Amino acid sequence: MLRWIDVLKYAKYSNPEPPQRVEKTEDAWRQQLTPAQFQVLRQHATEPPYRNAYCRSYEPGAYVCAGCRSRLFDSGEKYHAISGWPSFKQPVSKSALRYLFDDSYHLQRIEVRCNVCDGHLGHVFPDGPEPTGLRYCINSASLVRKDPEK
């Protein structure tokens, strides 16, 4: 189980090795992704609060990266954070995500990216529910929900 201290260590020293890497040119990403997906994943945009696909959706399933289809989060870790974006308590594994310090907008935040394709997902904050205390605040456009396998 990841805690804030683990996230800080990853961001400060080094992130876990990904299971594999997917690298493409920005042009290739632009052709593959929808404009909204491209803006979030590749240009680090933040989509509008509440007006996004998974903010209030609690259907069961796995959330995969909209860029490379790596599994990132499970619906069982999703919770209602009243933030306007889908929020999760934990990723599916320690190696699913990578963490970077983000000082943009004069805020000290920790950015969360897909560890396989380096796509921007959102940020993680230390004000989530117990026992992990983590709140992964993720853009819906960076995710695709898959129905549970039968």
Task: Give the binding range for Zn ion (CB under 5 A) out of 6-14, 32-40, 65-73, 136-144.
Answer: 65-73
96 in contact with Zn ion (CB under 5 A): no
CB 53 within 8 A of CB 62: no
- If binding means CB under 5 A, how many residues of this protein chain bind Zn ion? 8
67 in contact with Zn ion (CB under 5 A): yes
CB 141 within 8 A of CB 47: yes
68 flagged as catalytic: no
Minimum distance of Zn ion from residue 133's CB (angstroms)? 25
Site track 23-62 with Zn ion (rule: CB under 5 A), x = hit: ----------------------------------------
Tokens 């042009």 belong to residue? 27
Instruction: Please identify which residue in 65, 121, 134, 141 interacts with Zn ion, judged by CB under 5 A.
Output: 65
Greatest Cα pair distance, the chain, in angstroms, is 46
Minimum distance of Zn ion from residue 68's CB (angstroms)? 3
Please choose, from the candidates 108, 95, 128, 121, the residue with its C-alpha nearest in 3D space to the C-alpha of residue 10.
95
Q: Collapse the DSSP code of 137 into the 3-class scheme (helix H, G, I; strand E, B; otherwise coil) and give the result.
A: strand
Q: What is the CA radius of gyration of the chain?
A: 14
Task: Give the binding range for Zn ion (CB under 5 A) out of 52-60, 86-94, 111-119, 133-141.
Answer: 111-119
* DSSP 3-state percent helix, strand, coil across the chain (nearest 5): 20, 25, 55
121 in contact with Zn ion (CB under 5 A): no
Which positions touch Zn ion (CB under 5 A)? 65, 67-68, 70, 114, 116-117, 119
